[in-house]
Structure 1
Amino acid sequence: MKGLEKYEAKILIAWGEAISGNKKIRSWLVKNGYPELSVFCYALCNQDDARQWLMDNNFPHLMALINGIERNEQALNWLGSNGFHLLRNMAMAADGSEASMDWLQNMHPVFGIIAGKMYTIKKQIDDDNYDPHKINF
């Protein structure tokens, strides 16, 4: 579980709720010493300053997770070659890989739930980006 081993189950559950949009829990994460998990939520939603914060504050693995969700092969390869196999599977599951989601649900169910929440956010963003009614001309 390289990259996520320091987090207790309750923190991971809170992270999942924060990913789903719970702003109170996002604030709670910051106040309780987990700003990276809160910032991740903003970075997942394409906020550039949040993405830069992850890189500047020694969380490249979390940024690689987001890039992997966005089908960046270089990020997926980096996660794999640096031993972040769980994060790599989370990225692929959040991008729709059924095999990765099955693996997570069988081996690390909490991370399967979190990847499912990431998938939902990614799908919302993609739907918004490709909705012809929302395109600015």
Structure 2
Amino acid sequence: MKQGAFALELWSRLEEVFHDNKHTRAVYLEEKFNNTRLENFANMAAYCKEIKLLADQLSNVDNPVSDRKMVLQMISGLTKGEYDTVATLISQTDPTPSFSKAGSMFFLEETRKSKQDEHGHHALMAQQQSPATATSTPPTQQPP
């Protein structure tokens, strides 16, 4: 900015800088969006939140992401084997479910697996306690 410049000149220069950065930012965000993986997040909610945040940021730099592309990215970033059934169901549904609907399906699966793991943990603990009682002293045999 130079001294004595008119407001219009300054505004035009700021706009140029913004637009120059917008393209660079779009490239960076697109790469980040395409490389988002579930394994880098604590849970499905955090993973979906990041995908949505990146899609919103891409829209802000005139590079909008369709709802369908968000769903496809969500599926492609999954760990192999972890959510295969739900991923197959979503990818074979025509039309593709909305991002929020697909996210909801994954959240339900995550909750189901969590409860299943919890139940398995309780069953394992019960099995571990059971042998301890079985090793107590056997009753003495009485002669006939």
TM-score grouping bracket, smaller chain normalisation:
under 0.3
| TM-score, normalising length: structure 2 | 0.25
Between structure 1 and structure 2, the one with the greater Rg is 2
